[in-house]
Structure 1
Amino acid sequence: MSETTTTDLYEVTMAMSYLREGMRAPATFSLFVRDLPPGRGFLVSAGLEPALDYLSRLRITADDVRDFARALHRPPQELAALLDLRFDGEVRAIPEGRIVGAQEPLLEVTAPLPQAQLVETYLLTQVCHQTAVASKAARCVLAARGRPLVDFSLRRTHGPGAGLQAARLGALVGFSGTSNVAAATRFGIPASGTMAHSYIETFPCEEDAFRAFARAHPGPLTFLVDTYDTEGGVAAAARVLAELGRGPGCAIRLDSGDLGALAHRARALLDGAGLEDVRIIASGGLDEYAIAALVRDRAPIDVFAVGTRVGVAADAPYLDAAYKLVEYDGRPVMKLSTAKVTAPARKQVFRRPGRTDVIGLYGEEPPDGGTPLLRTVMRGGRRTGPPDSLAAARARFEADLAGLPAAARRIQDPEAPAATVSPQLEALTADVRGRLEAAFATHPGTDARGR
Structure 2
Amino acid sequence: MARDLTLLTDFYELTMMQGYYLCHKTEEEVIFDMFYRKNPMGNGFAICCGLAQLIEYIRNLHFNEDDIDYLRSLGVFDEGFIDYLRGFHFTGSIYAVPEGTVVFPREPLVKVIAPVIQAQLVETAILNIINHQSLIATKACRVVYAAKGDSVMEFGLRRAQGPDAGLYGARAAMIGGCSGSSNVMAGRDFSVPVLGTHAHSWVMSFDSELEAFLAYARIYPDNCILLVDTYDTLKSGIPNAIRTFDRMREEGISLGRYGIRMDSGDLAYLSKRAKRMLDEAGYTNAVISASNDLNEDLISSLKMQGATINSWGVGTNLITSETQPSFGGVYKLAAVRGEDGKWIPKIKLSENTEKITNPGDKQIHRIYDKKSGKILCDYLTLAEEHPDPERDLMVFDPQDTWKKTCFRGGSYRLRELLIPIFREGKLVYESPSVMEIREICRKEQETLWDESRRLRNPHEVYVDLSDKLWECRRRLLTEYGQG
Shift of 1:170: 2.2
The answer to whether the Cα contact below 8 Å between 1:94 and 1:375 also exists between their aligned partners in 2 is yes
In structure 1, which of residues 7, 10, 17 is the aligned counterpart of residue 9 of structure 2? 7
Residue 49 of structure 2 corresponds to 46
Question: C-alpha offsets along residues 385-441 of structure 1, whole Å, 9 cap, x if unaligned?
Answer: 322222442233222211212222111222332211111100111222333339xx9
* SS of structure 2 residue aligned to 1:324: strand
1:136 aligns with 2:146: no
Farther off after superposition, 295-304 or 232-241:
295-304
Compute the TM-score of the two structures, normalised by the length of structure 2: 0.87
1:268 aligns with 2:279: no
CA distance in structure 2 between the aligned counterparts of 1:310 and 1:100, rounded to whole angstroms:
20
Runs of 4+ in 1 over 6 A off after TM superposition: none
Residue 252 of structure 1 corresponds to 260
CA distance in structure 2 between the aligned counterparts of 1:7 and 1:410, rounded to whole angstroms:
37
Residue 334 of structure 1 corresponds to 347
Residue 238 of structure 1 corresponds to 242
CA distance in structure 2 between the aligned counterparts of 1:371 and 1:149, rounded to whole angstroms:
31
One-letter amino acid matched to 1:15: M
Shift of 1:37: 3.0
Q: Percent identity?
A: 35
Question: C-alpha offsets along residues 167-210 of structure 1, whole Å, 9 cap, x if unaligned?
Answer: 22222132211111111122221111111111111112211111
In structure 1, which of residues 170, 177, 200 is the aligned counterpart of residue 173 of structure 2? 170
The answer to whether the Cα contact below 8 Å between 1:227 and 1:233 also exists between their aligned partners in 2 is yes
Question: C-alpha offsets along residues 316-372 of structure 1, whole Å, 9 cap, x if unaligned?
Answer: 111222100111123211111222211111111111114111111112113644211
1:286 aligns with 2:286: no
One-letter amino acid matched to 2:454: R
In structure 2, which of residues 87, 102, 110 is the aligned counterpart of residue 99 of structure 1? 102
One-letter amino acid matched to 1:306: V
In structure 2, which of residues 191, 194, 207 is the aligned counterpart of residue 191 of structure 1? 194
Shift of 1:15: 0.6
The answer to whether the Cα contact below 8 Å between 2:226 and 2:260 also exists between their aligned partners in 1 is yes
The answer to whether the Cα contact below 8 Å between 1:12 and 1:68 also exists between their aligned partners in 2 is no
* SS of structure 1 residue aligned to 2:186: helix
Question: C-alpha offsets along residues 16-53 of structure 1, whole Å, 9 cap, x if unaligned?
Answer: 11011111211110000012234211100001110011
Return 5+ residue gaps in structure 1 as ranges: 442-451
Shift of 1:302: 1.4
Shift of 1:212: 2.0
1:308 aligns with 2:321: no
Shift of 1:258: 1.0
In structure 1, which of residues 155, 158, 173 is the aligned counterpart of residue 158 of structure 2? 155
**Number of equivalenced pairs:** 439
Residue 399 of structure 1 corresponds to 443
1:415 aligns with 2:459: yes
Question: C-alpha offsets along residues 289-338 of structure 1, whole Å, 9 cap, x if unaligned?
Answer: 11112222231111111111011111111122210011112321111122
CA distance in structure 2 between the aligned counterparts of 1:198 and 1:55, rounded to whole angstroms:
44
Residue 322 of structure 1 corresponds to 330
CA distance in structure 2 between the aligned counterparts of 1:418 and 1:380, rounded to whole angstroms:
33
Residue 446 of structure 1 corresponds to none
Residue 63 of structure 2 corresponds to 60
Question: C-alpha offsets along residues 39-79 of structure 1, whole Å, 9 cap, x if unaligned?
Answer: 21110000111001100110122221222333455576662
* SS of structure 2 residue aligned to 1:370: strand
Return 5+ residue gaps in structure 2 as ranges: 338-342, 369-374, 390-412
Residue 350 of structure 1 corresponds to 365
One-letter amino acid matched to 1:6: L
Residue 84 of structure 2 corresponds to 81
